[in-house]
Amino acid sequence: MALKMLPHAKWPVHAVGAGCEREIRIGPDQHNTPCPLAVADNSEGVFYRICLPEVADNDANPVRQTGCHGARILYPSRICQEKATRQQGRGVRLRDRRGVSELAGDGCGVLHPAMPSTDLSNDIAASRDDILKQLASVADHPVELVAVSKKQPDERLQAALDCGQRVFGENRVQEAQEHWQHRRDIEGLTLHLIGPLQSNKSEDAVALFDVIQTVDRKKIVRTLSEAAEKLNRFPHLLIQVNTGEEDQKSGVLPADLEELIDYTRATYPGELKGLMSIPPVDEPAGPHFALLKKLADRAGLPWVSMGMSADYELGAKLGATHVRVGSAFFGERKTA
């Protein structure tokens, strides 16, 4: 992946390919703090911070060290460091990306392919703040942000926790156990199951989750009820509604919803709190959100879970009490 030239920077940045052999020359480094370097991607010239490993002080000779993704890093001598630090005052502020900006000075030359910021806490915190502000601006009622943590690596989960996020959504019981079983004692942690549930996983789901959003048939209600009684643990339930009546999608049809609501209320020893839906990908989401809110109001259910990364603002505007946000919160997941 070739880099764009950065004509407005005062230090040279050279375009390179995405091979693993590359070198970073560091000028205005503060040794054990992240160096104010930046690289650009090949789409919009967006800059990302690089956090670098610690390096011992040196008086005259440069220090070579392997950095992130196998890059070779050349730390200049202390004399060059001091000169570069003075030059940093004439540096230029780079373009913001998700609230992160850095200052670059004259002393740097960088060769590196585009890569996401390694300062995950800052990136995720900025994303979370943006989403919460957007939700507050479009809704006149509280909206719970459910961060969808499926297939996220451990460091991203920890970064989300570090910035204060405590409500997470998982698609699969087994993966959720791997992510959260050892973190279950974190104060305020609330876990939502937002993927299809197999009846033979009901006991595991009841043991781990605080909210199960994907109830869609009587058999699941029955096995959840049995598990809840056995474990003396009663997660809140939401019924998933297949508003688009798609053959390949889970969820009860709108015409059958009232019967399932009545059965759940009569059978489940905990609380049925609301409805959830995933609109068809090839149709506008608005009518489906409006329908779900209408169905919830008609049944006297207070929670409405609708809206994901592409449409959570619309969901909130149309009455969602919960939005399920993955890529807009964590960034795009890497695919094999």
DSSP 227-261: HHHHHT---EEEEEB-TT--TTS-SB-GGGHHHHH
Q: Which of 318, 319, 312 is nearest to 146 (CA)?
A: 312
Residue by residue, pLDDT tens for the chain (336 residues) are 333 333 333 323 333 233 222 333 334 333 333 333 333 333 333 333 333 333 344 443 433 333 333 333 333 334 334 444 443 433 322 222 222 222 233 333 332 322 333 466 788 999 999 999 999 999 999 999 999 999 999 999 999 999 999 999 999 999 999 999 999 999 999 999 999 999 999 999 999 999 999 999 999 999 999 999 999 999 999 999 999 999 889 999 999 999 999 999 999 999 999 999 999 999 999 999 999 999 999 999 999 999 999 999 999 999 999 999 999 999 876 554
Instruction: List the 72-75 sheet strands across, edge first.
Output: 63-66, 72-75, 23-25, 109-110
pTM of the model: 0.66
Query: Could you give the dihedral angle defined by the CA atoms of residues 259, 262, 264 and 268, in that order, rounded to the nearest 10 degrees?
Result: -160
Q: Are residues 70 and 55 in contact, defined by beta-carbon separation less than 8 angstroms?
A: no
Q: Which of 267, 271, 171, 277 is nearest to 220 (CA)?
A: 267
Rounded Cα distance between 68 and 212, Å, is 39
Q: Which of 327, 306, 169, 172 is nearest to 242 (CA)?
A: 306
Rounded Cα distance between 208 and 67, Å, is 38
Helix (H) or strand (E) holding 267: helix 257-267
Query: Could you give the dihedral angle defined by the CA atoms of residues 58, 62, 64 and 65, in that order, rounded to the nearest 10 degrees?
Result: 40
Strand partners, 284: none
Q: Give the model's pLDDT for residue 334.
A: 57
Q: Are residues 4 and 112 in contact, defined by beta-carbon separation less than 8 angstroms?
A: no
By the 10 Å C-beta count (0-12 exposed, 13-18 middle, 19+ buried), 42 is classed as middle
Quote the crossing angle between the two packed helices 257-267 and 218-231, to the nearest 10°: 20
Rounded Cα distance between 15 and 39, Å, is 10
Q: CB within 8 A of 151, min separation 6: which ones?
A: 175, 333
Domain boundaries, the chain: 23-110, 120-330
- Count H helices and E strands in the chain, helices first: 10, 16
Q: Write down the CATH superfamily of domain 120-330.
A: Alanine racemase (3.20.20.10)
Q: Give the model's pLDDT for residue 71.
A: 36
Token output for 30: 């503060």
Q: Give the model's pLDDT for residue 119.
A: 63
Token output for 151: 């297939």
Rounded Cα distance between 265 and 16, Å, is 62
Q: Which DSSP string do the residues of 135-204 spell out, in sequence order?
A: HHHH-SS--EEEEE-TT--HHHHHHHHHTT--EEEES-HHHHHHHHGGGTTSTT-EEEE-S---GGGHHH
Q: Are residues 252 and 242 in contact, defined by beta-carbon separation less than 8 angstroms?
A: yes
Give the strand pairing for 144-148 and 167-170: parallel
Q: CB within 8 A of 281, min separation 6: which ones?
A: none
